Structure 1
């Protein structure tokens, strides 16, 4: 009895992936050397009639699909992966939240992980890693200024805005005494009416 060999490629552990990402942050790849524009020239290749005949019979392998989106954030639900979401941006379309099963042009989103979005194109599988945003956060709006922040003194309370008697008369006996004296100063209607 022979055991069939697994065709699955072992995936590195999440710790190894994070270490590789961190290593790229610490040691970014060196930029390419600049080339003088005068040294770049393009000339169409010469083709012979025999190679033209061969070109018509040769099958060209399809190009590998390149994703045209960036991953800005992910929200992963380990127990319910179908609820996982990723915030992506596409050129000319802005930002959008996607879920597994969504299609982005010719790519189908297969899985959303903590550090990447896994997609499928025809029979090949690829992933787009999460990239930290390099744009600064927008400035916070200024908070509404209060009377304490300005040099203008607050306006005194008016009789319309404050009740004459406080809600609990025990808290301010002076206010109760003043309100009673104000009522005593008001003219009273005459009794009897004769």
Structure 2
């Protein structure tokens, strides 16, 4: 029963959310998380489609101070520990692009701080939290691999289509040249009569 209570408490003290958004050209998308002092938050993102697969990202505290900033990255991660209570903002900006919309997948992980001196936190719970954080990292890596696999598959299919159509064009040109050569050689052997 105690183990069940500890597991339930660790699940309640961790929040996770995954999102997929489209950031249109020349715009930015911002999101908020309300954190308390000593809470931890990690934002991981990756651009799946659009343009050069890059995006600007920044994370600010309640007073507007920039805590993390990444410019023109295709994938990234930012982790913070809240120093004050308030609303923390993170934004994805596609303002550098005038034509290409970008599709961004991102995850937000957070750990709600519970003081160590509280009787609630047992060594087993600390280990469960540690394992939960490790599992979240594995999940992020799997999502990254899925997006990369999709991108590589699209590239391979595109290359395959180009090779196929190039081969068809070469066959058409080859048969045209053969037909022309037969016609041209045939004209050498024709006898022309002059009356």
Query: Into which bin does the TM-score normalised by the smaller protein fall?
Result: under 0.3
Structure number having the greater helix percentage: 2
Scaled by the length of structure 1, the TM-score of the pair is 0.24
Larger radius of gyration: 1
As a proportion of its length, which structure holds more strand?
Answer: 2
